[in-house]
Structure 1
């Protein structure tokens, strides 16, 4: 009827409704990648594998940088290839001219619109690199300048804090690395259902969030495949709730920063079941010895031995894909803490969806 005003959809007037909705989409996004994206990812991996890259470079910023770090672990462990993270300013600010023949450059970006990522990728291609863009926008400037492209198929992401594109990046990168080694990524098939189970446990996360409403700082730690999860969880907490959250590899935590942990210091440990979790055990023992307020995201035995935690369903889940599940309760934790502190996770201050770094 002319002149009428449509009522907002249920919940749309509440703070954080956009981020909340996008977190809830993640099982569907994972299913879409497995059903619709996996064949193209595998075909691209086969074409690149035929070029026999001798070294891999990863290029990213922010949340995508944490996804790239996850890919670094995959590439070094699963492929045995040397792998490094680029310093984009060497080309964009200093004009360096690298020699990148037979090097694979993987640039990861949700939007594909950051000028420094595009410029760095263009320079790498001109320097002889095989260039692959991993984005949520097939028409982006980054996709245009890259030789190959993987589409995340996550759909529009409107919340400033990235959630569904992060888990989409992890899955796409896992499938790509598996494709490089001739695998089909079949173990990932169980992820969407497990993701649904985790996201349905909102009451547990809400109770856990009460511990951090008045936190002045936090420490988040892990090792191995879980370390990128620690970095991404810290980023989500900082950009939504503004709590200074420091992420450390468990090994680095023992080299000095452990001194700042005491019996009132909140510490979250992501314990990936497997070799990474075993390597973290001495750190957990030291944290308990210092009386830290330790919360564990991980398997039953570690959660039971901590002050609190969130049990992950990891039975039958290979260590290398557990990070796709680990981040889910931590995304929701950041959302719940932000709401409890009277802030809106959809509108973090000083943030833009496309960061114009050069």
Structure 2
């Protein structure tokens, strides 16, 4: 089997998965209605790995669209230290594509016992996590054979968006064009292929974004590290300017997620700063054509809160292409375990 075959297939199937999720809006609306009836005063998100990046996306969605304060759980406070905080009136969302992570299961069981309304977001409807939570949603991505998460990450993002949108009374209208937009993004390969050739010899890369796009900037760093063994770090645009920018030089490649909207507007100052320091900047997103960058990968425009779902598609193609160009098989990365088993 050709190197990267599983990852290639799972990148390409994402428009179909988005369509399937849009067809499941009725099921998502039922869960959303149950959440809305409970009127939570705070949201808590628990996840690991790529799912943790999806949870960061949900944090922005909930704080901006629902106007609720949100925290990211530290599972070790439950599993190592035995913390059992009072979670009355808290919405606890646990995100895990396998639904088998012991620490997330422990957090969910403990949270439910301490009064939280628990919701599991998984790719395994019959998983222990889905059974432990009061409510659950299947991201409907199908069996994942690639080691590096691709379709499960984007499907989780869309599921979380549809859930939050439904909680606020929406019907997912802004997401209806995503399957077609995703097909367009995946088919326009020229800029990605050029980026592969440009960065195939890079030793280190910094990824950055602001607002909703920060989640996919973090996912980008993970994908580059686990498939191409690049030394990749991710910073929010604001944090990058407060210290780490001092380490940016002409030997540094910077991958910036920049789409139309407030997040994309605010990242321009960051790109100007790293560009002045001589960094080789690759801009990905609907605002990429206007970005101060050495290389640009445009992405179809959509509502800003949905941009990360599309932005990750060329990121995944870039990670796959770089792995193959550097002589690696992303379907057989060194020492990578697909399921997080930490307690």
Whether TM-score is above 0.5 comes out as: yes
* Aligned equivalent of 2:39: 52
- Measured in 2, the distance between the counterparts of 1:334 and 1:303 equals 23
Q: 2:329 aligns with which of 344, 349, 352?
A: 344
Larger radius of gyration: 1
- Measured in 1, the distance between the counterparts of 2:173 and 2:291 equals 31
- Measured in 2, the distance between the counterparts of 1:75 and 1:301 equals 26
- Measured in 1, the distance between the counterparts of 2:260 and 2:309 equals 13
* Aligned equivalent of 1:8: none
1:230-276 per-residue CA deviation (whole Å, 9 max, x = no partner) reads: 00011000111110111100000011100111122111111121000
Q: Say whether residues 1:95 and 2:82 are aligned partners.
A: yes
* Aligned equivalent of 2:96: 109
* Aligned equivalent of 2:221: 234
1:152-200 per-residue CA deviation (whole Å, 9 max, x = no partner) reads: 1111001110100111100000000011111111110000001011111
Instruction: Judge conservation of contact 1:298–1:311 (CA < 8 Å) in 2.
Output: yes
1:71-102 per-residue CA deviation (whole Å, 9 max, x = no partner) reads: 00000001110000001010111001110011
Instruction: Judge conservation of contact 2:258–2:287 (CA < 8 Å) in 1.
Output: no
Aligned-pair CA distance for 1:304:
5.8
Structure 2: stretches of 5+ with no match in the other structure: none
Aligned-pair CA distance for 1:349:
1.4
Aligned-pair CA distance for 1:301:
6.2
Structure 1: stretches of 5+ with no match in the other structure: 1-12
Q: How many residues align?
A: 343
- Measured in 1, the distance between the counterparts of 2:152 and 2:252 equals 31
Instruction: Judge conservation of contact 2:271–2:291 (CA < 8 Å) in 1.
Output: no
Secondary structure in 2 aligned to 1:153? coil
Q: Say whether residues 1:131 and 2:118 are aligned partners.
A: yes
* Structure 1 range deviating more: 124-133 or 272-281: 272-281
Aligned-pair CA distance for 1:214:
1.4
- Measured in 2, the distance between the counterparts of 1:252 and 1:119 equals 32
Q: 1:34 aligns with which of 2, 22, 27?
A: 22
Structure 1 pair 300/123, CA: closer, same or farther in 2 (3 Å)? closer
Q: Say whether residues 1:216 and 2:203 are aligned partners.
A: yes
Instruction: Judge conservation of contact 2:260–2:287 (CA < 8 Å) in 1.
Output: no
Q: Say whether residues 1:16 and 2:4 are aligned partners.
A: yes
Provide the TM-score with structure 1 as the length reference: 0.94
- Measured in 2, the distance between the counterparts of 1:151 and 1:63 equals 16
Q: 1:201 aligns with which of 151, 163, 188?
A: 188
Q: 2:307 aligns with which of 308, 322, 330?
A: 322
Instruction: Judge conservation of contact 2:323–2:330 (CA < 8 Å) in 1.
Output: yes
The residue correspondences of 1:143-222 to structure 2 (distance < 5 A) are 143-222=130-209
* Aligned equivalent of 1:9: none
* Structure 1 range deviating more: 282-291 or 232-241: 282-291
Q: CA RMSD in A?
A: 1.1
- Measured in 1, the distance between the counterparts of 2:288 and 2:138 equals 38
The residue correspondences of 1:243-262 to structure 2 (distance < 5 A) are 243-262=230-249
Structure 1 runs of 4+ aligned residues shifted over 4 Å read 300-304
- Measured in 2, the distance between the counterparts of 1:299 and 1:64 equals 24
Instruction: Judge conservation of contact 2:271–2:292 (CA < 8 Å) in 1.
Output: no
- Measured in 2, the distance between the counterparts of 1:272 and 1:106 equals 27
Structure 1 pair 274/58, CA: closer, same or farther in 2 (3 Å)? same
Secondary structure in 2 aligned to 1:95? coil
- Measured in 2, the distance between the counterparts of 1:253 and 1:24 equals 32
Instruction: Judge conservation of contact 1:295–1:307 (CA < 8 Å) in 2.
Output: yes
* Aligned equivalent of 1:356: 341
